[in-house]
Amino acid sequence: MATNPGDSGGPVVNDKCELVGVNSWISLKEQNVNAAVDIREVRRFVEDYFTSIGSKWRDIVPAPSTQEAADVLTLVGHLESGDKSTKIKAMVALSEMGSQARLGVNSLLKLLNGSDADLRNVAAVTLEKIGKLTAAEVPVLRQALSTGNLESRRYASAMLARLGPDAEPALADLIQSLEDADSQVRKNSLRAIQQIGSAARTAFVPVLKRLDDEDRGIAQLAAEVLRAYGNPTKQDIPALKRMFTSSRLRTRVQVAALLLRLGDTENVGTLVDALSDKDEALREFALKAIAALKSAELVNCWPKLLPGLRQALANRDRHVKLSAIRILEKGRSGKGR
């Protein structure tokens, strides 16, 4: 792919004239050495931006022509054939149609949920080639998420995560899937709830439980979702208190930080415990939570904080030391007043 200065930000298309990326940079020292950003990464960035400003962004997906729809329906009919090779040929043809084959998603999910490994594999590839779905496919995805096998649940949860606010009708199913035995399904479902935005605030307690997930990536994502919901409410306090039974310090630290946002400093000692933890990210998070306290609040819990802050001053991490010093100065100024 030849790229010239000034092409950055321009489209990268494949041999089917489909947008697959965005030009990024070229090497001025070598010929034909260039790079592009994958369109999937661009899509995630755009979707995250619109979610962050409380807006919605949707693809403009052209509807299939009458002839294309007829072709898809014919191929979908072949998926019901008793002949395995006929089904495979039909799926290969559908995969070549890309997004225009969305009419076949329901039938493909049935094959993905079937017992034949070959048909499941081809169905998975075909569904991947079809790409992002629309709000019209949400009922089919909900069914797959609730009753499908592992492959179906992973696919359905991943597609719902790409739908953004349009996945809201599946919120109850996504909440249920947060308890799935498979970590990928749980993560996809949590991502889908995140993309729904403020309309999914009713999922606060189920998301809160994921702070204690054995998968650290899921726990971190749950923390992001909870922060996006803003301050907890008084109605959330019982659920927050129950989370202190966790054996994981990282879980208790996150819950203590959430309670601090309600002015509840009873469990600030948990944050102090984290200041001496081996996990650098956990130490920094605890320091930020403590630093966010008002001067008067710092004074009120000073006896609990002081031993931990002194220990933080002896930490080898320069950032931890500086943060501890700032907190001590803030607290002392509050005591002075």
Rounded-to-10 torsion of CA 252, 258, 262, 264? 20
Residue 30 has pLDDT above 80, yes or no: no
Q: Which residues of 36-75 are buried (b: 16+ CB within 10 A; e: fewer)?
A: beebeeebeeebeebbeeeeeeeeeeeebeeeeeebbeeb
Q: Compute the average pLDDT of residues 75-95.
A: 91
Handedness of CA 97, 101, 105, 108 (dihedral sign): negative
E-strand spans in the chain? 11-13, 19-26, 34-38
Of 16, 21, 17, 105, the C-alpha closest to 7 is 21
- Express each pLDDT in 316-325 by its tens digit: 777 777 777 7
Residue 310's pLDDT band (cuts 50, 70, 90):
confident
212-267 pLDDT, tens per residue? 999 999 999 999 999 888 888 889 989 988 988 888 888 888 888 888 777 777 77
Q: Write down the domain spans for the chain.
A: 11-52, 231-337
What mean pLDDT do residues 147-169 have? 93
Query: What distances in angstroms separate CA 299 from CA 256, 295, 305, 308, one per listed residue?
Result: 18, 6, 9, 15
CB 274 within 8 A of CB 311: no
Cβ within 8 Å of residue 242, ≥6 positions away: none
Separation of alpha carbons 194 and 103, rounded Å: 27
Q: Could you count the other beta carbons within 10 Å of the beta carbon of residue 267?
A: 20
Amino acid 2: pLDDT:
59
Kindly report the backbone phi and psi dihedral angles of residue 24, in degrees, each rounded to the nearest multiple of 5, phi listed first: -115, -60
Q: What is the pLDDT of residue 336?
A: 46
Instruction: Quote the mean pLDDT of the chain.
Output: 82
**Any idea what DSSP says for residue 221?**
H
φ/ψ of 35, rounded to 5, equals -140, 155
Measured distance CA(192)–CA(165) in Å, rounded: 9
| Residue 178 near residue 191 (C-beta atoms within 8 A) | no
Average pLDDT for residues 259-277, to the nearest whole number?
Answer: 75
What SS3 class is residue 294? coil
Q: To 10 degrees, the CA torsion angle through 224, 230, 231, 232?
A: -70
Residue 182 gets the label, from left (phi > 0), alpha (psi -120 to 50) or beta, of beta
Compute and round to an integer the Cα radius of gyration of the chain: 25
| Whole-Å CA distances, 52 to 56, 98, 146, 194, 231 | 10, 30, 29, 10, 16
Looking up tokens 């179906």 gives 152
pLDDT tens column, 290-302? 777 777 666 676 7
List, in sequence order, every residue forming a beta bridge with 13; answer none if it has no partner. 19
> Can you identify the CATH homologous superfamily of domain 231-337?
Leucine-rich Repeat Variant (1.25.10.10)
Averaged pLDDT for residues 23-45: 73
Residues above pLDDT 90, as percent of the chain: 34
- pLDDT value at residue 6: 65
Cα angle: 129, vertex 131, 135; to 5 degrees: 145
Q: 162-191 in b/e burial notation, b at 16+ Cβ within 10 A?
A: bbbbbbbebbebbbebbebeeeebbbbbbb
Buried b (16+ CB within 10 A) or exposed e, 226-260: beebeebeeebeeebeebeeeeeebbbbbbbbbbb
Q: What are phi and psi of 19, to 5 degrees?
A: -70, 120
